[in-house]
Amino acid sequence: MARDLTAVARVLGGELRLDGAVAASTPVDAAVRLEDFAVVGHPSYATLVVGSALALEATILAGRADALADVVLVVAGDRDDVRDLLAARGFSAIVVAEPDDELLHARLVALLAADQAAEDRLVTTGTKVLTQVARRGGAEAVVAQLAHRIDGWAVLLDAHGQTITTAGAGGLHVKDAVTVAFHRPVRLRHRGLQVHVVGSDDDLTGYLVVSSRNASTSRSRDLASLASALLDLVLRTHDYTGTERLGREVMMGTLLAGGDPAAALLRRWGVHELSLTAFVLTARSRSVDLERLVIRWLDELGAVHMVTAERGTVLGFVRDEQADALEERARHSTVTPRLPLRLGLGTPAPTDVLTRSLAEARQAHEVAVADGRDVVRYRALPTVAYVLDRLDPVDGGRLAALLDPLRDRDGRHGDLTDTLRTFLAQNGVWGMAAERLGVHRQTLTNRIRRIEDLTGLSTSSPDDRAAAWLALRALER
């Protein structure tokens, strides 16, 4: 919200004359009378010194020009001799025809005060939102919301320089964040970073490093300072649900391993059904605590908490007859009206081979994300299901073998296969695919070229894209 020199000159109806040391886009933080000026307030901002042409000329000719070297003069009264003097001495100035310097000063003070009030309102609103998301999503949600509010990126480090979470493009700038936080003698690729200590020097929790594309440095600094204090409270507050979450994660691993141990665990868990339906749920905002939301839904359905979270995705299982109720809640959820949920549902699978239903739910979820649909059921994808269900194991293996060149040295599918799957799921939209993978767009381009070289497939060919998609699906069966 802070006005820059160009905007101020436009409001005053004056001419902006710069000597090159000050940019026209420099924001203004203060306006003072010539007789009251003592020192520049902040080196990143412009300080306006207001005076009449006669008074400024007398001050400069009296040998006090050095004190005004780092300011921008607002000259009341346009005189050719004063213009020549300013140009000869290399002063930056806004020359205004209005001869009354007191009136000019009053206008500037009122203008800057209105801007500061608007800036303060934005900071207050941002603080309230950060507090709300902290209650729902913890430190990760706070950092994500902060990056959105300052129109930039953020990295939260612990006291040892390990990454806790990032937001925006923060994942690409972790090295710069560590460098500036720990004052390491390494050249930074990114300038203008702000470092905020989380905690105190005696009781350090970590560091919050932010960078803003917004012209308002003060707002981003104020919000980040408040966020760092909030993060200190969040990180020091013991999460008593952590043990429960870890326990469910371990039990879900047993279910996905399948066999008799999975069936036995389900019986001890109070689940006696012979089959279950898998689901995968995401939201386009990390400020939403999806795991807590799903648990609330399961409580409303009287269902066991067979659910876990991984990297912003919630997956789990419900009884077959509860799938419709889960779909209804996902379609009509009001928790994120502007950022709808995306739900993928598999088909019922025996409790000892639940991985099949989960693979189907993942496929349905990818289609929901790609098509912008709230809910997609695997059974509503007749083309892929029809083809794969009619392939015998030998033909399915041949189809999956198209992707064998993408295996790593240990014979496993890794980054290249995941890149191809995400790229196709995002309909070949480079920006969305790169964001979902958490890589730079050029990195994605290099990976796709390598995939094409290794497999002989072309992502620009509809037939090759269809073949690659079927091979990925066959690989997951």
Per-residue pLDDT tens over the stretch 127-141: 788 888 887 778 888
At residue 433, the pLDDT reads 83
Q: Is the pLDDT of residue 216 over 60?
A: no
Question: Distance (Å, rounded) from C-alpha 15 to C-alpha 76?
Answer: 11
The pLDDT of residue 279 is above 90: yes
Q: pLDDT category, 427, cuts 50, 70, 90? A: confident
For residue 208, the model assigns a pLDDT of 92
Between 339 and 39, whose confidence is greater?
A: 39
Band the pLDDT of 345: cuts 50, 70, 90: very high
> Which range among 24-28, 157-161, 240-244 shows the weakest confidence by mean pLDDT?
240-244
SS (H, E, C) the chain: CCCEHHHHHHHHCCEEECCCCCCCCCEEEEEEEHHHCCCCCCCCCEEEEEEEHHHHHHHHHCCCHHHHCCCEEEEECCCHHHHHHHHHHCCEEEEECCCCHHHHHHHHHHHHHHHHHHHHHHHHHHHHHHHHHHHHHHHHHHHHHHHHHCCEEEEEEECCCCEEEEECCHHHCHHHHHHHHCCCCCCCCCCCCEEEEEECCCCEEEEEEEEECCCCHHHHHHHHHHHHHHHHHHHHCCCCCHHHHHHHHHHHHHHHHCHHHHHHHHHHCCCCCCEEEEEEEEECCCCCCHHHHHHHHHHHHCCCCCEEEECCEEEEEEEHHHHHHHHHHHHCCCCCCCCCEEEEECCCEECCCCHHHHHHHHHHHHHHHHHCCCEEEHHHCHHHHHHHHCCCHHHHHHHHHHHHHHECCCCCECHHHHHHHHHHHCCCCHHHHHHHHCCCHHHHHHHHHHHHHHHCCCCCCHHHHHHHHHHHHHHHC
- Position 344 scores a pLDDT of 93
Cα–Cα distance for residue pair 461/475, rounded to 1 Å: 21
> Any idea how long the chain is?
477
What sign has the CA pseudo-torsion 241, 247, 250, 252?
A: negative
pLDDT value of position 319: 92
Is residue 277 pLDDT above 90, yes or no? yes
Q: Which residue ranges form the domains of the chain, and what is each CATH number?
A: 5-99 (3.40.1390), 132-236 (3.30.450.40), 239-380 (3.30.70.270), 383-477 (1.10.10.2840)
Per the model's pLDDT, the better-predicted residue between 185 and 455 turns out to be: 455
For residue range 431-467, list pLDDT tens digits in order: 878 887 888 888 899 999 999 998 888 888 888 888 8
- Residue 317 pLDDT > 90: yes
- Mean pLDDT calculated for residue range 357-373: 86
What average pLDDT does the segment 246-256 reach? 86
Using pLDDT thresholds of 50, 70 and 90, give the confidence band for residue 37.
Answer: confident
Query: Across 2-11, 152-161, 281-290, 403-412, which has the greatest mean pLDDT?
Result: 152-161
Percent of the chain with pLDDT over 90: 9
pLDDT band at 1 (very low <50, low <70, confident <90, very high): very low
Mean pLDDT of the chain: 82
Mean pLDDT of 141-163: 88
pLDDT in the model for residue 464:
84
Residue 336, pLDDT above cutoff 60: no
pLDDT of residue 338 exceeding 60, the answer is no
| More confident site: 379 or 357 | 357
Residue 175 has pLDDT above 50, yes or no: yes
Predicted confidence at residue 388, as pLDDT, reads 65
Q: pLDDT class for 156, splitting at 50, 70, 90? A: very high
Q: Answer whether residue 19 shows pLDDT above 80.
A: no
Position 25 scores a pLDDT of 77
Average pLDDT over residues 139-153: 86
The fraction of the chain above a pLDDT of 70, given in percent, is 88
> Is the model more confident about 91 or about 214?
91
Statement: residue 240 has pLDDT above 60: no
